[in-house]
A and B are shown apart, each in its own frame.
Chain A
């Protein structure tokens, strides 16, 4: 074989001068540099001074024998591979084995066969090169890994700034989320709504690492921005889906559950797609209500196919909703059996105090896992319906009263047929209104007022639809068919918004005047009836509870609502 290892520096240690010289000559002739030693002590010294790459070591030498020298040299070499070939005239198996036990890599019997010697030197040179390559690659991997971890830490810090501006630390929320959960694809977001309620979203992206984390950023941005602007859960979930559909490649999506809690109205809306069944635990009765996924995950369907249908629940103070990614269900014990939903249900069935349920779940999972390895991607959240006193004490979205926003303004905004057909003006108008400092927290109520009055103006006014139609289920769908048909064919008509805001001593007053091109209705006779029953189809009783006044004008195609808000007040 060719000398493929290149030139090495080789240490030859032999107390016999003749042997040493013969070896020296052979090895030098093969193109290697040679260092010599005449006993074990000298061999170790030479090794330290000269750092040879391969050692030919006589087993039996004075002062220190080859075995001891081999041990010391190997210890000094540490993780570097310095092959030691024992030179020995010993023939018995035990002695030869002893050479290897002392740290030798091979042995060569005296007298030397130069061809075998050369082959062995070459073989060990190859092995040494391989070892060097491995060390180099290992160091590179370690360095890469260190970089990656550093990048993740930076990315996480950025993500935390985006994601945790919310209210996860509210006293009515308990959660478990691994510190690097975002790189497992798990996201947990919570924010107070301007109307006083709360939005909570748990997301679980397919895959791990950066691809999973990347969708979490726009998701958090949309969630917080739209929640604070008073958008509804339907609008937010729709917007997030559209964004994820647009940016994520096919096959990457986000299983999610989002809840909308209205603490005062004691109502909870849930959208769930692709996550395991959530539980609503009723503290009063101990009843466990299952909220099963009824949608595709986020980022799968395009906007026109995406469904925002909510599951709606009436809730009471102390009720708790539990959401989780599949980490709990799929946690495996040392027998490789999953924790599963039944064990989870069992924890609820055995529950004696709702206060401890969250901890009970954790304990049950921990005990189940026992000694088994943790993969650390369990995400769990409990949200409780707080009592009246707590609602008052919940951290508010901070509102800076001195913030100089528009306080006195007027807007006249008319939508003609093309706009009525294809555009929903409400978010735009709402956004404009919530620019008023302090009015933002009332955006839920303002939205309700605008939405009711606008749909009245459009449907009953411009499109001339009769709300009587909606009184039975068949008429209900007929109503919406007719609505779509008439809107499609619309070429005349308008809805006009006149908005006026003035500051008051304690806050402000917003006047909303909406008029339409319709024929109006005989509001006077309906008022004279003394019953507000006739108004029911127009959502007026609801608006009346929110506003200082609601007045019909003109021939009934004009309505004025006055809404007042105050700095000190959280709701209506």
Chain B
């Protein structure tokens, strides 16, 4: 499994951990990770600690997640990016849409 997700029942925080290459092949898994959740999470955390690479279709998937989570009112945090991944997010100015650290 390249993508593991877990919902913290007490905080309502859904953590989606992406391992390895985050590209189109992860499309369905990534979608399942936030669509197949019983209750609506209060906060989304995309953990990129073990993500080695990000392509533009992954950026598209993040936008789909943002739409799903309420668009402008979505609360999504992208965490633990390595420098390559962070660079791609920065070039696309995704920090305007997501909280990135």
Residue of B nearest to A341 (CB): B87
Distance between Cα atoms of A204 and B57 in the complex (Å)? 12
Q: Is A156 part of the contact surface with B, judged by Cβ < 8 Å?
A: no
Distance between Cα atoms of A273 and B72 in the complex (Å)? 19
**Cross-chain contact A300 with B56 (CB below 8 angstroms):** no
Contact of A296 among B60, B61, B92 (CB under 8 A): B92
Q: Which residues of chain B from 44 to 95 have a CB within 8 Å of any chain A CB?
A: 56-57, 59-61, 63-64, 67, 72, 90-94
**Cross-chain contact A251 with B92 (CB below 8 angstroms):** no
A322: which B residues are within 8 A, CB to CB? none
Distance between Cα atoms of A292 and B87 in the complex (Å)? 11
B56: which A residues are within 8 A, CB to CB? 204, 206-207, 255
**Cross-chain contact A273 with B92 (CB below 8 angstroms):** yes
**Cross-chain contact B63 with A300 (CB below 8 angstroms):** yes
Chain A facing B: main interface SS: loop
CB distance from A375 to the nearest CB of B (A): 13
Residue of A nearest to B96 (CB): A296
Q: Is A253 part of the contact surface with B, judged by Cβ < 8 Å?
A: yes
Distance between Cα atoms of A147 and B64 in the complex (Å)? 32
Distance between Cα atoms of A255 and B61 in the complex (Å)? 15
Would A206 and B92 be within 8 Å (CB), given that A250-B64, A296-B97, A300-B97 are in contact?
no
Q: Is A274 part of the contact surface with B, judged by Cβ < 8 Å?
A: yes
**Cross-chain contact B57 with A293 (CB below 8 angstroms):** no
**Cross-chain contact A251 with B64 (CB below 8 angstroms):** yes
Q: How large is the interface on A (under 10, 10 to 19, 20 to 34, 35 or more residues)?
A: 20 to 34
Would A275 and B96 be within 8 Å (CB), given that A251-B61, A255-B56 are in contact?
no
Q: Which of B24, B67, B92 has the most CB of A within 10 A?
A: B92
**Cross-chain contact A293 with B91 (CB below 8 angstroms):** yes
A30: which B residues are within 8 A, CB to CB? none
A276: which B residues are within 8 A, CB to CB? 91
B94: which A residues are within 8 A, CB to CB? 296
CB distance from B58 to the nearest CB of A (A): 9
A-B Cβ contacts below 8 A, count: 49
**Cross-chain contact B61 with A273 (CB below 8 angstroms):** no
Would A293 and B92 be within 8 Å (CB), given that A206-B56, A255-B56 are in contact?
yes
CB distance from B6 to the nearest CB of A (A): 24
Q: Is A28 part of the contact surface with B, judged by Cβ < 8 Å?
A: no
Q: Is A294 part of the contact surface with B, judged by Cβ < 8 Å?
A: yes
Residue of A nearest to B90 (CB): A293
Distance between Cα atoms of A305 and B71 in the complex (Å)? 12
Contact of A274 among B24, B61, B92, B97 (CB under 8 A): B92
Distance between Cα atoms of A296 and B92 in the complex (Å)? 5
Q: Which residues of chain A from 213 to 264 have a CB within 8 Å of any chain B CB?
A: 250-253, 255
Distance between Cα atoms of A91 and B64 in the complex (Å)? 67
Distance between Cα atoms of A275 and B87 in the complex (Å)? 11
**Cross-chain contact B93 with A206 (CB below 8 angstroms):** no
**Cross-chain contact B92 with A297 (CB below 8 angstroms):** yes
CB distance from A118 to the nearest CB of B (A): 46
B59: which A residues are within 8 A, CB to CB? 206, 253, 297
CB distance from A19 to the nearest CB of B (A): 58
B67: which A residues are within 8 A, CB to CB? 250
CB distance from B70 to the nearest CB of A (A): 13
B93: which A residues are within 8 A, CB to CB? 273-274, 293-296
B90: which A residues are within 8 A, CB to CB? 293
A292: which B residues are within 8 A, CB to CB? 91
**Cross-chain contact B91 with A253 (CB below 8 angstroms):** no
Distance between Cα atoms of A252 and B63 in the complex (Å)? 9
CB distance from A342 to the nearest CB of B (A): 12
CB distance from B54 to the nearest CB of A (A): 12
Distance between Cα atoms of A250 and B65 in the complex (Å)? 10
CB distance from B16 to the nearest CB of A (A): 16
Chain A to chain B contacts (Cβ below 8 Å), 16 pairs? A206-B56, A206-B59, A207-B56, A207-B60, A250-B64, A251-B64, A253-B63, A255-B56, A274-B91, A274-B93, A275-B91, A276-B91, A293-B92, A293-B93, A296-B94, A300-B63
Given A293-B93, A296-B97, A297-B59, 15 more A-B residue pairs with CB atoms under 8 Å apart are A206-B56, A206-B60, A207-B56, A250-B67, A251-B61, A251-B63, A252-B60, A253-B63, A255-B92, A276-B91, A292-B91, A293-B90, A294-B93, A295-B93, A296-B93
